[in-house]
Chains A and B, each alone.
Chain A
Amino acid sequence: MNECVVEIKELRVSFPGFGGSVEAVRGISLEVFQGEIVGLVGESGSGKSVSALTALGMFPLGTKPQVSGSVTVLGKDVLSMSERQLESLRGSQIALVPQEPLTSLNPTIRVGRQLSAVIRAHRSESAQRAMEIGTELLSEMMIEDPLRVMGAYPFELSGGLRQRVVLAMAFACNPKVLIADEPTSALDVTVQKEVLDLLAARARASGASILMITHDMGVVRYICDRLYVMLDGRIVESGDPDRLLSHPEHAYTKRLLNALPERTARRHLLPVE
């Protein structure tokens, strides 16, 4: 592992609200090196998504949080960049695989147009050439009939297909960093594995790093090189996933692992005769 592509230092994010502000992220530091797949696990509301979005210089629309600390992506200080600079960074250098593949595509625009819009936003290509690149990207994502998918509306596609389209969009401009916000939690297990394999294979091939946000320990063990565990806006434990999952040190990590259904349920199930 050589270069550090994402470096978050002492990041604090708080959202002002009625009756005091809510501190979603309370001083976290994390690093993602080049070519690495890093997991960020924690329960709902632990601040994972907010932390990851700050790497893109983004916050949920309509909120104005107070932010302190530093976020450096590919050597650039994201928090001090202008909105226009951020727009050219997003999608080309750092991309997001959003939380729910089923709703991450606009239902009123054909897939091809949405995909080529990403390509045209960052590369100076003609509309026709962008469609061709998009079609190639889809076939790289193991979609058999890419031309038909390009001409389809998102609601005509299955969840797995839609997630492949979203992946194609994320990889469209060969970003160096991918933020994957629970990319597979809305998919069933077999499709999950395919999507994870695609994500990892493509990232390894292009040397991209992935910051994978999830609460699924199976996903972590399957794909991640390194792991951070978050609780209440703080990072409580980090390190190698195999070690962390077999010998958790922090009490919360232990609780998290004990909450896995396969660990507890196995003892209570009766064998099938």
Chain B
Amino acid sequence: MPLDTPVTLASSNVGGWSYIWYQIRHSPLVILGLAIVVAMLAIALLAPLLAPYDPYAVSLDDRLLPPSAAHWAGTDEIGRDLLSRIIYGARASLAVALAIVTIAASLGTLLGSFSGLAGGRIDAVIMRLTDTVMALPGLVIALAMTAALGPSLVNLALALGILGVPFYTRLARGQALGLRQMQYVLASRAMGASTSYVLRRHIVSNLLSTMVVFASMHISGALLAAAALSFIGLGAQPPTAELGALINVGRAYIQDEWWYSLIPGLVVVVSALGFNLLGDGIRDVLDPKSRKK
């Protein structure tokens, strides 16, 4: 072919959102997960609009009422509407879970990709630190940390977030080790790219999909861990409504007013399930290697 013959671009942009939607549409479980997650997010975002009563309004005449048309989930020991408290509690629980995952994923991704790219001694030190933190029993250490920092939802999120960092660090570091060998890293260094450019544009951007998959799986675990710590009194403090704390208070009345603990418990279980199902779906879409035929 002579030199002056131009070359045309043959392919067009395929894939993208339509492909993702195609993948989701064909899996009923993922749709169920997506529906649950969307519903939970809507409840959390629209809590003030959805809650029929003020979750903190005390009415001592209406203590421990069973579910009825006026109070769909009954009332608590000082007459606050339980449905409103569950709606606000779901909001708090979800916010904490998202905060935990955000802290763990962002710090872990940065630390891991830096560690993998730098290699040598820096890598060895970061990895040994990671091993150390992973060797500790997570919930127990979170318990100790929140106890030391003072029990509150913010400290709970910090403690569980930091304890989640090593898992992301390891994952990101493993990927970074492979990515730094890519030709385009060499090519871009040879064009004068700085280490921070390589880190941002080549390493982090290429391991994002793995991190998103892992994070989506992590959310349900974070939700359960946050509820567990609140249940033993290290998270939300009264009068704040939080699902774990609601279950804990309801425990005292479980013989007669069983719905008090049951309903917030079901909300925790169902939303954890929803995030898990959605996480599976996201993995199937973003990670072609694990995709089933």
- Select A90's contact among B182, B191, B206, beta carbons within 8 Å: B191
Decide if A198 touches B3 in the complex (CB within 8 Å).
Answer: yes
Decide if A142 touches B4 in the complex (CB within 8 Å).
Answer: yes
- Select B5's contact among A88, A118, A142, beta carbons within 8 Å: A142
Alpha-carbon gap, A145 to B191, bound state (A): 25
Q: Which residue of B lies closest to A96 (CB)?
A: B190
Q: Does B186 contact A (CB under 8 A)?
A: yes
Q: Does A56 contact B (CB under 8 A)?
A: yes
The count of residues in chain A whose C-beta lies closer than 8 Å to any C-beta of chain B is: 55
Alpha-carbon gap, A108 to B210, bound state (A): 13
Chain B residue numbers with a CB within 8 Å of A105 are 184, 187
Q: Does B205 contact A (CB under 8 A)?
A: yes
Decide if B13 touches A62 in the complex (CB within 8 Å).
Answer: no
Decide if A161 touches B9 in the complex (CB within 8 Å).
Answer: yes
Alpha-carbon gap, A186 to B226, bound state (A): 53
Decide if B184 touches A103 in the complex (CB within 8 Å).
Answer: yes
Q: Using a Cβ cutoff of 8 Å, how many contacts connect chains A and B? A: 121
Q: How far is the CB of A202 from chain B (nearest CB, A)?
A: 11
Q: Does A259 contact B (CB under 8 A)?
A: no
Q: In residues 112-136 of chain A, which contact B (Cβ within 8 Å)?
A: 114, 117-118, 121-122
Q: Which residue of A lies closest to B207 (CB)?
A: A108
The count of residues in chain B whose C-beta lies closer than 8 Å to any C-beta of chain A is: 36
Decide if B6 touches A142 in the complex (CB within 8 Å).
Answer: yes
Q: Does B192 contact A (CB under 8 A)?
A: yes
| CB 8 Å contact bits of B1-33 with A (1 = contact, 0 = none) | 101111111111100000000000000000000
Decide if B9 touches A96 in the complex (CB within 8 Å).
Answer: no
Decide if A108 touches B13 in the complex (CB within 8 Å).
Answer: no
Decide if B184 touches A61 in the complex (CB within 8 Å).
Answer: no
Decide if A108 touches B7 in the complex (CB within 8 Å).
Answer: no
Decide if B186 touches A117 in the complex (CB within 8 Å).
Answer: no
Decide if A87 touches B194 in the complex (CB within 8 Å).
Answer: yes
Chain A residue numbers with a CB within 8 Å of B265 are none
- By a beta-carbon cutoff of 8 Å, the part of chain A in contact with chain B is 56, 58, 60-62, 64, 83, 87-92, 95-96, 98-100, 103-109, 114, 117-118, 121-122, 142-145, 148-149, 152-153, 156-158, 160-161, 164, 166, 169-170, 172, 179, 190, 193-194, 197-198, 201
- By a beta-carbon cutoff of 8 Å, the part of chain B in contact with chain A is 1, 3-13, 117, 119-120, 180-195, 197, 201-202, 205-206
Known: A98-B187, A106-B188, A179-B190. 11 other contacts (CB 8 A): A88-B192, A91-B190, A104-B183, A104-B184, A106-B182, A118-B188, A121-B191, A142-B4, A193-B1, A194-B1, A194-B3
